[in-house]
Amino acid sequence: MKKLVIEGGKPLHGTVKISGAKNAALPLMAATLLAPGVHILNNVPDLRDTRTILRLLESLGLTWEREGSTLRIDGTGLKYSEASYELVKTMRASVLVLGPLLARLGRAKVSLPGGCAIGARPINFHLMGFEQLGVQCDLEGGYVDAISPGRLQGNNVYFDIPSVTGTENILMAATLAEGTTIIKNAAKEPEIGNLIDMLCSMGANIEGKGSDRLEIQGVEKLTAAESRIIPDRIEAGTYAIAVAATGGDAIIQNCDPSHLPSLVDKLRLAGVEVEVGEDFLHILAEEKKTQIKAVDVTTLPYPGYPTDLQAQFMALMTGSNGVSVIHETIFENRFMHVAELQRMGADIKIDGRIAMVKGRSGLPLTGAQVMATDLRASSSLVIAGLAASGRTDISRIYHLERGYEDIVGKLSGLGATVWKEDE
């Protein structure tokens, strides 16, 4: 296995180009199951997770080819409807094939994803939604075996919690159902808007984009189309926080600042200057490293502060001049990065879903050997290592490679001293 080595203490300068969003690419790639023909997806990041879902699509009978960041996926050859445990256990987002398979074949057998480091992450809302659409879901042997007696039937679906992939799964299934489906308390993340745009370009009839009420008029069939993946707001936010934490001055290019409303406000509250452009953020934090203000954060569904940027912001708060209260309301165990940050000298106390971070008033953390536990926790350790004095070795970086394209190249381009080596 590889580890990431960082010589910390260097402010980040220059420009970093943001890739397409992992959490848009995964549902949009799953949506190619809905129609035969060659789907063209532009700005697709090359990540462990996008490579995993391509293997899954192949196992279902689809073919694909990649040319740079453009993927051409041919949905014609779909013939199987089973997603194996081997594939699903490495990436829970594999459950996103359930909706399209049920819509196109009326049958899907997908391994239950099981828990992950950040929580149990059940899919009960997905299954409830499918049952509302007339699907019979049987759970046995760690698999969900879903069968629809005929064409899916449109219906009302209400989510107790605005589940992101739950909304995406039901949305995709409803496009080919008979009649109208209304999803209430739908998630409103920008990635869902990206999926809606793709589905409509394929011939779907969907109203309510950007709201928590989606109305889908089922159609007889869909056709392949060309789409573009939106910029990765979580990657952009991660680099913005890294520039702030190292007291640097850099441009986060090819992003969509309108997808990061809460982060921009939080960085400004922390005393960081943020210039917002059409497709860039300019983070000016030189000489600010010792004046970062403590800021409280509560994670919420979009447009609230994203849970996927909680660990990264905590790394910034370890250097603040006060106490920051961080409340993680989405997942029950998303503080795996805390123990590792503490090994670097961070003063953090956890009480359930609340973490209290006592900043070191600009006194840098000290580099250490730390271990990545999940995707966003590992990016938090990268930020801490960049800001810390001395060397930080981060092991198990396959977690990081799931969601950050060319992180060594991008960080080096910002002036960081970082490399990979065998553990």
Binding positions for ligand EPZ, 52-111, rule CB under 6 A: 93
Distance of closest approach, residue 27 Cβ to ligand EPZ, in angstroms: 7
Contacting residue, 148, 163, 312, 320, with ligand EPZ by CB under 6 A: 163
Name residues whose C-beta falls within 8 Å of residue 280's C-beta, 6 or more positions apart in sequence: 251, 252, 253, 254, 255, 257
Binding positions for ligand EPZ, 142-161, rule CB under 6 A: 161
126 binds ligand EPZ (CB under 6 A): yes
Listed ranges 13-21, 164-172, 244-252, 290-298: which one lies at the site for ligand EPZ (CB under 6 A)? 164-172
> Active site residue: 116, 137, 200, 255, which one?
116
Is 116 an active-site residue? yes
324 binds ligand EPZ (CB under 6 A): no
How many residues bind ligand EPZ (CB under 6 A)? The answer is 24
The smaller minimum CB distance to ligand EPZ, of residues 161 and 363, is found at 161
The smaller minimum CB distance to ligand EPZ, of residues 5 and 236, is found at 236
Contacting residue, 144, 176, 199, 330, with ligand EPZ by CB under 6 A: 330
Inter-CA distances, 394 with 24, 52, 200, 334, 342, Å: 27, 23, 43, 18, 14
Distance of closest approach, residue 180 Cβ to ligand EPZ, in angstroms: 23
Distance of closest approach, residue 361 Cβ to ligand EPZ, in angstroms: 30
Distance of closest approach, residue 227 Cβ to ligand EPZ, in angstroms: 17
Contacting residue, 307, 310, 320, 373, with ligand EPZ by CB under 6 A: 307
Distance of closest approach, residue 78 Cβ to ligand EPZ, in angstroms: 22
Tell me if 15 sits within 8 A of 413, measured CB to CB: yes
327: nearest Cα among 303, 288, 297, 357? 297
Examine residue 303 and say whether the peptide bond preceding it is cis (omega within 30 degrees of 0): yes
Listed ranges 19-27, 37-45, 100-108, 265-273: which one lies at the site for ligand EPZ (CB under 6 A)? 19-27
What are residue 306's phi and psi, to 5 degrees?
Answer: -70, 135
Binding mask 169-198 for ligand EPZ (x = CB under 6 A): ------------------x-----------
Residue 201 is encoded by which pair of tokens? 């370009």
123 binds ligand EPZ (CB under 6 A): yes
The smaller minimum CB distance to ligand EPZ, of residues 111 and 320, is found at 111
Burial class (CB in 10 A: 0-12, 13-18, 19+), 187: buried
Binding site for ligand EPZ (CB under 6 A): 22-23, 26, 93, 119, 121-126, 161, 163-166, 187, 307-308, 330-331, 375-376, 403
User: What are the catalytic residues?
Assistant: 116
